[in-house]
Amino acid sequence: MTSLTTFYLSRIIDTKALDSNGKVIGIVKDLLVDSDSSNYTSGHPSVNGIKIKFNKRMDFFAFRDFHIEKVGGKMRVICDKLTALPAEHIDGDLYLVDSVLDKQIVDLNGRKLVRVNDVRLVSIANGTYAVAVDIGIEGLLRRIGIVRPIKFMSSLFGANVSSKFILWEDVEAIDFSNLNIKLSKSYSRLQTLHPSDLADIIEDLGRKASAEVFSSLDEEKAADVLEELEIDAQVRILESLSIEKAADVLDKMPADEVADIFDALEDDKVELLLKEMGEDTSQEVRELLYYPDNSVGSIMSTEVLSFNEDATIDEVLADLKAKKPEAEALYNLFVTGENDVLIATFSLRDLVIHAPETSIRQIMRPATVHLRDYQKINEVAELVSKYNLLAIPVVDRDNVLQGMVVIDDVIDDLMGKGRTNK
Amino acid sequence: MFRTKKTFYQRLVLFLAILGPGIITGSVDNDAGGITTYSVAGALYGYNLLWTLIPSFVVLVAIQEMNARMGIVTGKGLADLIRENAGVKITFFIFIGLLIADIGNTTTEFAGVAGSMEVFGVNKYISVPIVGFMVWFLVVKGTYKFAERIFLLFSVSLLMYVVSALMGKPNWGEIGHAVIHPQMEINAKSLAMVIGIVGTTIAPWMQFYMQSSVIEKGLEMKNYRYSLIDIVVGCVATVVVAFFIIVACASTLHVNGIQINEAKDAALALKPLAGAFASQVFAFGLFIASIFSATILPLATAFYVCEAFGFEAGIDKKWDEAKEFYVLYTGILVLSAAIILIPNAPLIGISLWSQVLNGILLPMVLVCMMLLVNNKKIMGKYVNNPLTNLVGWIAVVVLIALSVLLVFQPLFG
């Protein structure tokens, strides 16, 4: 046996597998590789099994007793001994032809979906590994069987047929026809992507795959991704989840985002989800849902931090450390009096530049700029740009602090307007 | 706020939100090629080919319903599904065929633009480059969605053919008789005409377009009923417009024994028979239909070719991100417009051959569709019911038989 053989999946699929005497044992139909990336040797999954068709019957054999030989430019699959493949591999492995070849996979570096034209494998002394996927034109032409004439033709014109590979450690297969695969393990590398990128990928995926990818994410990540999705996709994904799972994810999202999604869902579904969600969040969402669509109340964030004017900077900082609020909540800090009536505001900067024992009363500024919860949304952008604010407090008729509108929410609104005016 | 029963108003809003894919596809369906075919059929055979619209309608609804269902259930485009399930080789040959046919079809659209503007006295060397650039600019500069709505509004003007037809004072008794008891000589020429009508009503690229728009709309299976209404309305619109074009030409040109080769000829010939207004109405309808399809056709083609071969595609992408897509799109547009501008270009030949190619590709695409839509792994519990399968397979068999006849008919003389 040669010490190193590289070959393409397309070159051995639908060829005859031979035994050591040269007798045909069947047609090669698929290769099975390890689906759990934590088992990979230097990022490459090993080929565990081979699917062979003989007389209309499909058999699975262990690949370690097979080897690939290059004879006169052709690949030959030769079997030394037939050992049945253990059921755990048949059930749990990734099928290269079924789930990778011609399918869309995630390019983790390019953060997008690509279509696989071929898979490059390598055989070394201790096993056979999938090393890269071919997504270039060359792979396409190879599959059609016209790569050599085209390459010859283009070389006459001094042009090159572009070949493009992505190493296996930089891809993640997503569309499994094999339902027994443990998805959370198979998709583990997707967790490293930024929520926005993951959201883009999920939007581009088919219905089944997008639901599977989403449910493999942990709740925190799932909530971040859900927030980034377009409204259509949000609804689609939520419908694909069980009520319990959906409620768990929504619990991790800001109440105003949840309310936005609920506006697009059916009322019965919303009621079910609200019952299942944590009491605090569902109460907040319920309140937001009562606001009309184009009112400030419907877009405001209810996660606000308010303090007593007698507190010292030290106490406020200790409180923040304990609460660990989201970055957004720190855009603006508030001082409230009796019954949560808004008195004044102060900023993170104020906290940082003054001595720890200073009281909030000394650094706070009166909250002259604020919004009412039933005010129209289109008046917000003007205020934000006029006063250069990151967040504006929202109060009700009795000046009770209800939440705040963050610049991010208004930017969406402004950009939406720009688009329709074009 | 938590009502469980939907009021009539809510249902209407929901329907209007879902409305679109079927009706737009239906409108694009009556493109320059379609108008030409219907006009020629009316002029040549009078009311005698009207009956073909009935089976066409049934098959059209059945096919579009399958497309919508596949799009809703899988969330994947038809090109995606074909590539993933039929392999590279079949995909390659289908899509090379579609690409060539669609360049031919787009050429026909520009011929429609040129012809209709000539009726208004505008030279094709002026109208075609302007329209071509306008279409390209609309799409590349990303105001396509806006344009689509404008076109949809304009496509109401296709109903002008009703006006045009009524001004020709058709004989309704004869029409009724012709639909129920069609009298037609069966020969190579009439057979080609029948294939032409069916082929132009059910063009292969439409299936890809329909499925993509369903996905883009993000439709759900629970609103399937509304999607179905949308499809039926779109198909009815298609067939009604086709009906009136045939009637318009039959009641004027056929009665007077005037033969035509192009839709433009029909517009011109209507002038002495039904008045200048009828002629202009006819030409304006042709212009709108041509420009609508000239926008959507190259876009749809570039999109599904990229989808099948795994290139980035979409008008929301930048030129550098989706180079193959934009090159393809621009290429199809430029090539088609250029062909029209060649002096003495064999336009009738091009439109004929792209129709023949359509006719050959349609059964191939349909067979792929029937296999996909019956695949439990892909469709789950939403596979075809026996009735849809019956209609689908009969359509496949009849279309294959017709295409084979059409292709080999020159051999038999």
The C-alpha atoms of residue B90 and residue B304 are separated, in whole angstroms, by: 15
Answer yes or no: is pLDDT of B78 > 60. yes
pLDDT of residue A391: 86
pLDDT of residue A178: 58
Answer yes or no: is pLDDT of A116 > 70. yes
- Whether the domain at A193-290 and the domain at A306-421 fall into the same CATH topology: no
pLDDT tens digits for range B282-340 = 888 888 888 888 888 898 899 889 888 888 877 777 788 888 889 999 999 999 999 98
Chain A residue nearest residue B308, CA to CA: A115
The reply to whether B15 falls in a domain is: no
The CATH number given to whatever domain includes residue B155 is 1.20.1740.10
- Full domain range(s) for residue B36: 28-412
pLDDT tens digits for range B189-211 = 777 788 778 878 888 888 898 88
Domain boundaries, chain A: 5-171, 193-290, 306-421
pLDDT of residue B3: 39
Q: Which fold has domain A5-171?
A: SH3 type barrels. (2.30.30)
pLDDT of residue B16: 59
Nearest CB partner across the interface for B1, out of A205, A206, A289: A289
pLDDT of residue B268: 81
Q: Is B312 on the interface with A (CB under 8 A)?
A: yes
The C-alpha atoms of residue B203 and residue B404 are separated, in whole angstroms, by: 17
The reply to whether B272 falls in a domain is: yes
The C-alpha atoms of residue B377 and residue B381 are separated, in whole angstroms, by: 9
Q: Dihedral angle at the C-alpha atoms of B408, B409, B412, B413, nearest 10 degrees?
A: -140
Q: Is B84 on the interface with A (CB under 8 A)?
A: yes
The reply to whether B10 falls in a domain is: no
Of the CA atoms within 13 Å of residue B110, those in its CB half-sphere come to 34
**pTM score:** 0.77
Q: How far A96 CA sits from the closest chain B CA (Å)?
A: 13
Answer yes or no: is pLDDT of A74 > 70. yes
pLDDT tens digits for range B370-387 = 999 998 888 888 888 888
The reply to whether B406 falls in a domain is: yes
Question: Which range is most confident: A43-47, A292-296, B125-129, B360-364?
Answer: B125-129
The reply to whether B11 falls in a domain is: no
Q: How far B209 CA sits from the closest chain A CA (Å)?
A: 17
Instruction: Report the DSSP pairing between strands A74-79 and A16-19.
Output: parallel
pLDDT tens digits for range A234-281 = 888 888 888 888 888 888 888 888 888 888 888 888 888 888 888 888
Structure tokens, A187: 């998709």
Q: Is B3 on the interface with A (CB under 8 A)?
A: yes
Give the sign of the dihedral formed by CA B315, CA B321, CA B325, CA B326: positive
pLDDT tens digits for range B384-396 = 888 889 988 998 8
Residue B147 banded pLDDT, cuts 50, 70, 90: low
Q: Which fold has domain A306-421?
A: CBS-domain (3.10.580)
The answer to whether A208 contacts B89, with C-beta atoms less than 8 Å apart, is: no
Residue A419 banded pLDDT, cuts 50, 70, 90: very low
- Work out the burial of residue A111: count CB atoms within 10 Å of its CB; fewer than 13 is exposed, 13-18 middle, 19 or more buried: middle
In 3D space, the residue among B356, B339, B359 whose CA is nearest the CA of residue B204 turns out to be B359
Answer yes or no: is pLDDT of A367 > 60. yes
pLDDT of residue B407: 67
The answer to whether B88 contacts A102, with C-beta atoms less than 8 Å apart, is: yes
The reply to whether B9 falls in a domain is: no
Answer yes or no: is pLDDT of A57 > 80. yes
Share of chain A above pLDDT 70, in %: 93
pLDDT of residue B9: 63
Mutate to test the interface with A, among B84, B137, B144, B222 (most CBs of A within 10 A): B84
The reply to whether B297 falls in a domain is: yes
Q: Is the interface score ipTM higher than 0.85?
A: no
CA distances from B229 to A313, B54, B210 (A): 64, 18, 14
Q: How far A213 CA sits from the closest chain B CA (Å)?
A: 14
CATH code of A193-290, in short, is 1.25.60.10
The reply to whether B352 falls in a domain is: yes
- Per the structure, the count of domains in chain B is 1
pLDDT of residue B411: 55
The answer to whether B75 contacts A103, with C-beta atoms less than 8 Å apart, is: no
A253-257, A375-379, B404-408, range with the lowest pLDDT: B404-408
Q: Which amino acid makes up residue A184?
A: S
Average pLDDT over residues B95-117: 90
Average pLDDT over residues A102-107: 85
Instruction: Report the DSSP pairing between strands A333-336 and A306-307.
Output: parallel
The C-alpha atoms of residue B376 and residue B379 are separated, in whole angstroms, by: 5
Structure tokens, B206: 């439409």
